[in-house]
């Protein structure tokens, strides 16, 4: 694609990056069938190719309108188009740049602007998010139906066994990212990861003082807040890095993909770039670490399965691969063999590459599209009559749980339950 970027961006690092991405697109349209919003709306401007055209116009200095903003807002950022693209177009990065320029030119109406402001101020902060959810749950019966769907019913309180965190005992050490909403919505997930890693000879410590990974404000185009959050997290993680952890383990795939991007996002930051690159090099989704110890794991699981009642081994699981896992991290197909090794039966799930509609703050900012995607995802997941649904990202877990008729769990919790402590 030929480009002629406008003066305001042409000779900047962001401009050069955007130019290279735009030029890599050959307009072939192979990405269109993979795009959930194009499937739902049938409008080229709600497809990856259409949005690339819109962002090209924006970056070439042509008028930026509310319509441009609307089509970019409707994008989930799921990056299914990247997986489908034969030319390797880095759509996700272009979207970040295109949205930032568009939002700088097109002011939002008071209500959507307030919604976005509040999301940026509440969601990334664990205590505020917890308090906000508590108020929402208390008022849930009084809320209109559309709003009620966005307030999760409280999960069953985690038992002491589910929260048990093994004391460090191995020479191999990793740090686990706590996450912002995860301690509230899935308190047992990180302890389950710590127990599995412990059985694999790796001790996990929680990285104290680390906040949200930064994805929430990045998706809201708040660059200043994102940079501040990333710097804060790097400072908080650094003592663990200096203590020699072999990895920074993340149990929510969207947050893993964000951490893996710190080096790029702070690449121009003289004070933080080297440490940001180090953090990205150390970032691992928990599935990568567990899969790296697959033979040891299989041996332990074989022992554990011998002690299980026959009825327990055939539990039917529908696995939902989050977009961040399969399209951003390219880790599709890593978790399923681990669940099979643990004795679960996987049920078929059609359209497995399609987003569930959670997509960070999308379920709140684009509720209608999000709900349509949610209901078709739940129908696909439940079509094989599973006993439960497993996923790898807290946002998807919470979103799918709001509509599913069977329990929705994090896959590492299932594995931990099959791998009792020694």
Nearer to ligand SF4, 263 or 360 (CB): 360
DSSP assignment of 293-316 equals THHHHHHHHHHHHHTS-HHHHT-E
Nearer to ligand SF4, 63 or 86 (CB): 86
Nearer to ligand SF4, 204 or 328 (CB): 328
Nearer to ligand SF4, 56 or 195 (CB): 56
Cβ atoms of 327 and 77 closer than 8 Å: no
Cβ atoms of 356 and 399 closer than 8 Å: yes
Region near ligand SF4 per CB under 6 A, out of 5-13, 35-43, 280-288, 365-373: 35-43
Please, what is the minimum distance in Å from the beta carbon of residue 1 to ligand SF4?
A: 8
The residues near 286 (Cβ < 8 Å, ≥ 6 apart) are: 193, 196, 197, 249, 250, 251, 412
418 binds ligand SF4 (CB under 6 A): no
- What is the Cα–Cα distance from 378 to 33, expressed in whole angstroms? 20
Which residue from 15, 48, 357, 360 is in contact with ligand SF4, where contact means CB under 6 A?
A: 48
368 binds ligand SF4 (CB under 6 A): no
- What is the Cα–Cα distance from 225 to 229, expressed in whole angstroms? 6
- What is the Cα–Cα distance from 199 to 262, expressed in whole angstroms? 30
152 binds ligand SF4 (CB under 6 A): no
DSSP run (H or E) holding 374 = helix 367-382
CA distances from 206 to 241, 247, 251, 421 (A): 12, 12, 12, 19
Region near ligand SF4 per CB under 6 A, out of 3-11, 83-91, 185-193, 267-275: 83-91
User: Which letter does DSSP use for residue 75 in this model?
Assistant: -
Radius of gyration, alpha carbons of the chain: 21
**Residues 275-334 within binding reach of ligand SF4 (CB under 6 A):** none
49 binds ligand SF4 (CB under 6 A): yes
Nearer to ligand SF4, 18 or 89 (CB): 89
Give long-range contacts, CB 8 A cutoff, 24+ apart: 238-244: 238/275, 240/175, 240/205, 240/207, 241/175, 241/275, 241/278, 241/279, 241/282, 243/173, 244/173
Which residue from 5, 21, 22, 31 is in contact with ligand SF4, where contact means CB under 6 A?
A: 31
Nearer to ligand SF4, 237 or 380 (CB): 380
Nearest to 174, CA basis, from 247, 77, 92:
247
Which residue from 85, 234, 265, 276 is in contact with ligand SF4, where contact means CB under 6 A?
A: 85
Nearer to ligand SF4, 49 or 418 (CB): 49
51 binds ligand SF4 (CB under 6 A): yes
- What is the Cα–Cα distance from 138 to 143, expressed in whole angstroms? 10
215 binds ligand SF4 (CB under 6 A): no
Nearer to ligand SF4, 85 or 342 (CB): 85
Which residue from 5, 9, 18, 34 is in contact with ligand SF4, where contact means CB under 6 A?
A: 34
36 binds ligand SF4 (CB under 6 A): yes
Please, what is the minimum distance in Å from the beta carbon of residue 389 to ligand SF4?
A: 22
Region near ligand SF4 per CB under 6 A, out of 47-55, 118-126, 132-140, 192-200: 47-55
Q: Give the CA angle between residues 18, 19, 21 to the nearest 5°.
A: 65
| Residues forming a β-bridge with 175 | 205, 248
91 binds ligand SF4 (CB under 6 A): yes
89 binds ligand SF4 (CB under 6 A): yes
81 binds ligand SF4 (CB under 6 A): yes
- What is the Cα–Cα distance from 252 to 265, expressed in whole angstroms? 19
76 binds ligand SF4 (CB under 6 A): yes
Which residue from 9, 18, 25, 380 is in contact with ligand SF4, where contact means CB under 6 A?
A: 25
388-391 and 316-319 as β-strands: parallel, antiparallel, unpaired? parallel
Nearer to ligand SF4, 51 or 410 (CB): 51
* 189-199 helix and 411-418 helix, angle to the nearest 10 degrees: 50
Residue ranges in contact with ligand SF4 by CB under 6 A = 25-31, 34-37, 48-49, 51-52, 75-81, 85, 87, 89, 91
């Amino acid at each position: 694609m030929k480009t002629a970027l406008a003066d305001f961006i042409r000779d900047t690092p962001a401009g050069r990056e955007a130019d290279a991405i735009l030029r890599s697109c050959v307009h072939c349209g192979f990405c269109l069938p993979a795009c959930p919003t194009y499937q739902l709306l049938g409008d080229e401007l709600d497809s990856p190719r259409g949005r690339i055209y819109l962002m090209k116009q924006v970056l070439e200095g042509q008028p930026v309108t509310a319509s441009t903003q609307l089509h970019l807002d409707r994008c989930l950022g799921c990056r299914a188009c990247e997986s489908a693209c034969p030319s390797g177009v880095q759509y996700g990065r272009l979207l970040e740049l295109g949205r930032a320029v568009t939002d700088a030119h097109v002011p939002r109406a008071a209500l959507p602007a307030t919604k976005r402001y509040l999301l940026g101020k509440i969601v990334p902060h664990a205590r505020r998010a917890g308090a906000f959810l508590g108020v929402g749950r208390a008022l849930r019966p009084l809320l209109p139906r559309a709003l009620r769907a966005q307030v999760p019913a409280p999960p069953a309180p985690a038992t002491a066994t589910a929260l048990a965190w093994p004391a460090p005992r191995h020479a191999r050490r990793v740090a686990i990212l706590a996450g912002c909403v995860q301690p509230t919505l899935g308190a047992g997930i990180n302890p389950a990861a710590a127990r599995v890693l412990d059985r694999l000879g790796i001790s996990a410590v929680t990285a104290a003082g680390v906040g949200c990974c930064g994805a929430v404000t990045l998706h809201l185009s708040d660059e200043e807040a994102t940079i501040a959050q990333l710097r804060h997290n790097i400072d908080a993680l650094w003592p663990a890095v200096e203590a020699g952890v072999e990895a920074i383990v993340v149990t929510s795939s969207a947050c893993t993909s964000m951490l893996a991007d710190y080096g790029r996002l702070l690449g121009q930051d003289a004070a933080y770039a080297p440490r940001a690159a180090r953090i990205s090099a150390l970032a691992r989704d928990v599935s990568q670490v567990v899969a790296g110890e697959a033979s040891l794991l299989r041996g332990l699981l074989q022992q554990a399965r011998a002690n299980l009642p026959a009825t327990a081994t055939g539990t039917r699981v529908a696995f939902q691969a989050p977009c961040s896992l399969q399209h951003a991290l390219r880790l599709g197909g890593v978790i399923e063999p681990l669940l099979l090794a643990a004795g679960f039966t996987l049920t078929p799930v059609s359209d497995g590459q399609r987003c569930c509609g959670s997509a960070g703050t999308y379920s709140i900012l684009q509720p209608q599209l999000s709900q349509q995607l949610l209901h078709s995802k739940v129908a696909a997941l439940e079509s094989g009559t599973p006993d439960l649904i497993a996923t790898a990202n807290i946002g998807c877990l919470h979103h799918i749980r709001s509509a599913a008729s069977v329990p929705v769990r994090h896959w590492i919790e299932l594995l931990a339950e099959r791998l009792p402590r020694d």
